[in-house]
Amino acid sequence: MLNADCLFCKIINGDIPSQKVYENDYCFAFRDINPQAPVHILVVPKDHIESADMVKFNNSFYVAKIFEAIPSIAKAEGLKNGYRVITNCGEDACQTVKHLHFHILGGEKMAEKMC
Ligand code: 5GP
Ligand code: ZN
């Protein structure tokens, strides 16, 4: 179920415009508004799950569906040489939007260190 007060739910619903790159019944992918790599895409479930910390037995299929979609998104973006998938969860990880999302970052060689 979507949440009327949530930025990414509004993007999924088309109430806020985005640059969509992929969509199916379970997930929606769009370009990050402030890209941190030549390719920076966000993939979100079509359900208001707050973060990775709220993934449970009854909603984990959204995560599986997202990870099924990621290789085709990466291929369409030309990420032949690899890419990084990140989810920030909670305050210490600096999660700013409280709707589970996976960043796909690529298009250049990234630093080995992740934080
Ligand atoms: P977080 O910091 O929560 O892991 O990531 C949130 C991401 O959402 C950030 O990379 C930020 O640039 C992106 N973002 C925030 N607001 C918008 C928006 O309105 N549209 C798009 N496309 N991305 C957004
Ligand atoms: Zn939401």
Which tens digits make up the pLDDT trace of 53-65? 999 999 999 999 9
pTM for the model stands at 0.98
Does ligand 1 come within 6 angstroms of the Cβ of 50? Answer: no
On whether the 7-106 domain is CATH 3.30.428.10, my answer is yes
Complete edge-to-edge strand list for the sheet that includes strand 102-106 = 20-23, 27-31, 39-45, 102-106, 83-86
Q: Which stretch of DSSP H or E encloses residue 39?
A: strand 39-45
β-pairing, 102-106 vs 83-86, is antiparallel
Does ligand 1 come within 6 angstroms of the Cβ of 30? Answer: yes
At residue 23, the pLDDT reads: 98
Q: Which ligand is nearest to the CA of 13?
A: 2
Which tens digits make up the pLDDT trace of 72-114? 999 999 999 999 999 999 999 999 999 999 999 999 999 999 9
Alpha carbon nearest to ligand 1 atom 16, residue: 33
Q: Which burial class, exposed, middle or buried, applies to 104 when counting CB atoms under 10 A from its CB (0-12, 13-18, 19+)?
A: buried
Does ligand 1 come within 6 angstroms of the Cβ of 21? Answer: no
